[in-house]
Amino acid sequence: MSITNRVTPTSTPTQAGRFLDVRALTDTLTANLSAEDQTPQSMTDASPAKWHRAHVTWFFEEFILRADPSYAVYDETYRYLFNSYYEAVGARHPRPERGLVTRPGVADIAHYREYVDSAMVDALERGALDDDLLALVELGCNHEQQHQELLLMDIKHLFSTHAFAPAYVDREADDAEVSEPLTWRSLSGGITEIGAHRGPDAAFAYDNEGPRHRVFLEDFEIAERAVTNAEWLEFMADDGYRRPELWLSDGWAHIHETGWQAPEYWQYSDGEWTTFTLSGRRRLALDEPVVHVSFYEADAYARWAGARLPTEFEWEAAAATAGEARGQLLDPARCHPGRAATSMVGDVWEWTASAYLPYPGFVPANGAVGEYNGKFMCDQHVLRGASAVTPSGHERVTYRNFFPAPARWAFSGLRLAR
């Protein structure tokens, strides 16, 4: 991705501290995982936890440390093993076989992390990095935050395949809670500015969040909270998964191929619905936002509810005026959404009606990091908000998350518009 917004240069200690904070969270998140847990890949879309740990480290080594000719690369084979999809960097290990790379092991990767951390902190503290490289450091920190979320999504998926539902983190059952009744907020249309600001004082944003540009919106209403599990059960009880008129053609075909009758991770047995969480299998909490639904399901639900999904432009216009409140963001002791509340950011990512396309005037960054976002702008769908596994500080109103329509392993829910 391109660095559309330069971070204002700040004192070196702060930068190193910011860097180390991000790095430390990754280590915190993998502390509960054995070497065995960190090795497999439960599907092509997912990656092993130890791969995530190495890949985010390689990102700093590849794009920042290698810029210094005197830097001694830790292991030349890692470029091949831990490049994700950067064609400009060269050949790389086939994605579907990441789970077969048993070597380096977890201990080797911990050592690699320390080596790169030390070199990075040294460079940051020496003030050896120019503005372009400092911008790449900030990109690398955001990149690692993004992978923290992916790592938790992937571990959840991996553990869900286990017949006996292991827990990633112990957690008490929540107290009974009652979700808010569904209310609507009205917004007036007209020309609206969308996207991240750019410039010396702008906060970090990915290249795909810009340029900031004008769109014309009609008047619309947007729900004050996300759709809940209780509401989803009503949809199911009303034959939501069996009525073709509610579904896009692709979605109808997909639920027949897959046999989907409920969101990912849900199971019905002994007269009740449970769902798999990062704390093992739990009784479904009715007042929580529904999560792990595909775009197809979100779209069908909206049609059933006599509403629709908001476009990403409507969503952003609404969020920009919704205040600073945040729902549940990543808490390593929880890793699960809170109750469906009025905040638009947090708890669950929200599918929008928008295809993931470049904004007018979008130009990817020069160099390999130009592949970060732009080349995926095809047949993906934008999600907005943030989830209970998004690291705090990584969320923002202009953030454009994206997944293909059938994807369900992200913490994805929905909010209605009309």
One-letter identity of residue 410: A
Q: Smallest gap, in angstroms, from Cβ of residue 284 to a second copy?
A: 24
C-beta of 67 vs 377, nearer to a second copy:
377
C-beta of 96 vs 127, nearer to a second copy:
96
Q: Smallest gap, in angstroms, from Cβ of residue 274 to a second copy?
A: 18
Residues 160 and 42: their CA atoms lie apart, in Å, by 9
Cis ω before 69 (30° cut-off from 0) = no
C-beta of 332 vs 370, nearer to a second copy:
370
Give me the residues paired with residue 355 across strands.
381
- DSSP sequence for 363-402: -PPSSGGGGTTGGG-SS-EEEEE--TTSPTTS--TT--EE
Q: Smallest gap, in angstroms, from Cβ of residue 273 to a second copy?
A: 22
386-416 residues labelled b (16+ CB within 10 A) or e (exposed) = bbbbbbebbbebbbbbbbebbbbbbbbbbbb
Full strand arrangement of the beta sheet holding 280-283:
266-269, 272-277, 280-283
The residue written with tokens 């909206």 in the block is 302
Q: Smallest gap, in angstroms, from Cβ of residue 178 to a second copy?
A: 34
C-beta of 120 vs 194, nearer to a second copy:
194
Q: Smallest gap, in angstroms, from Cβ of residue 124 to a second copy?
A: 30
Residues 85 and 93: their CA atoms lie apart, in Å, by 9
Q: Smallest gap, in angstroms, from Cβ of residue 86 to a second copy?
A: 10
Q: Smallest gap, in angstroms, from Cβ of residue 137 to a second copy?
A: 24
C-beta of 40 vs 393, nearer to a second copy:
40
C-beta of 103 vs 126, nearer to a second copy:
103
Q: Smallest gap, in angstroms, from Cβ of residue 130 to a second copy?
A: 25
Q: Smallest gap, in angstroms, from Cβ of residue 122 to a second copy?
A: 28
Q: Smallest gap, in angstroms, from Cβ of residue 63 to a second copy?
A: 17
C-beta of 44 vs 118, nearer to a second copy:
44
**Do residues 37 and 167 touch, judged by C-beta distance below 8 A?**
no
C-beta of 1 vs 386, nearer to a second copy:
1
Q: What's the chain's length in residues? A: 418
Residues 188 and 217: their CA atoms lie apart, in Å, by 8
The pair of three-digit structure tokens given for residue 172, joined into one six-digit string: 């008490």
Which residue in 188, 182, 263 sits closest to 223, CA to CA?
A: 182
Q: Which phi and psi (to 5°) does residue 120 adopt?
A: -70, -50
Q: Which residues make up the interface to a second copy (CB under 8 A)? A: 34-40, 42, 50, 77, 80-81, 85, 87-88, 93, 97, 99-103, 105-106, 158, 161-164, 166, 191, 213-216, 218, 244-245, 247-252, 295-296, 299, 353-355, 357-358, 360-361, 370-371, 375-379, 405
C-beta of 106 vs 139, nearer to a second copy:
106
- Three-state SS at 65: helix
C-beta of 75 vs 331, nearer to a second copy:
75
Full strand arrangement of the beta sheet holding 381-385:
401-403, 381-385, 349-355, 412-413
- The dihedral region occupied by 4, where left means phi > 0, alpha psi between -120 and 50, and beta the remainder, is alpha
Q: Smallest gap, in angstroms, from Cβ of residue 370 to a second copy?
A: 8
Largest CA distance in the chain: 66
Residues 6+ apart with CB under 8 A from 401: 349, 382, 383, 384, 410
C-beta of 91 vs 178, nearer to a second copy:
91
The pair of three-digit structure tokens given for residue 57, joined into one six-digit string: 């480290």
